[in-house]
Structure 1
């Protein structure tokens, strides 16, 4: 990828973030809960997408990655995801193959840290059928 994205921290109540997530059918009910960090990603001053993390001690839940519809197909989802990663877990109903292409692997709920399973995302916002995935990057 021959581009760099700018990253700007956002509050969970940001209307652009909420609108993009809701428009993509992603959860917005818990965006202002403690431990969440959300970011706007732009290129050349133009917003291309949003991403977020939930922090639970040393465990991180990657969540709410969305690329605006007119910006899809250029590799922005890949760039946003990699910029947020160190070690992350995620839940997805529709994008498992996309995240597998980025090195995530499916895991069972028995393999997930308790901190992830007790999040609102895992416990109630995403259905039990959502794929739970993890990616660890080399140190």
Structure 2
């Protein structure tokens, strides 16, 4: 697989800025959660979703033997080490130690990312040390 143009990924992601937060939704300008944002960007950059997304829990402290988000991303994206992820990469965050990765963002620069956050909707903010240390996985969107 060849990676998609990072500028195209970032432009698609920024088009979602201001979209209200809505759990398990993925409709630009209407509502999305963090995964819904990633799904919408993927639809624009890559094409139709290749498989249905099952319902998922909002529990950021969830633990378990499988990294469900990472496993799903591996089916359709290019995995890279988090230390090598650059602008346009999808990043998965582990919000609590030993919990599975349950939050998703898209890098927009070396020190910034875009994500959907409850009560705030889709925002772009600095990738602070607190956010950076939570990154568990990184993936590149493939070219259409």
Report the TM range for the smaller structure's normalisation. under 0.3
Which TM-score applies when normalising by structure 2? 0.25
Higher helix share: 1
The one of the two structures with greater contact order (alpha-carbon pairs below 8 A, sep at least 6) is: 2
TM-score with structure 1 setting the length: 0.26
